Amino acid sequence: YYQAHDWLQDLEQVQKCYTESGKSRAPLILHGIEDQIIPISCGQDLANGWNVPLVAVPEASHMIFLEQPVVVARHVLDYMSVSQ
């Protein structure tokens, strides 16, 4: 499903979510470098299509939140502090 889904079609919905607060902000895309379920090339394609950076999380596969919680938390906190 994930590889067959055209995530670029979701761009309008994603942009709406990120602009509802009245503050426009780009989505944060985190992707495990070693992800074998959704290859990082798919994450990069999504980031390129949305014109946002991709945060490639080292030593992480599909479960980046469990495998690299400190790295993920740091990126999320940085994102939230910049986006507020």
Q: What is the pLDDT along the chain (84 residues), one digit of tens a residue?
A: 455 666 666 766 766 666 665 656 778 899 999 999 889 998 898 888 888 889 999 999 999 999 999 999 999 999 888 655
CB atoms closer than 10 angstroms to residue 83: 13
Report how far residue 33's alpha carbon sits from residue 50's, in angstroms, rounded to the nearest whole number: 19
pTM of the model: 0.72
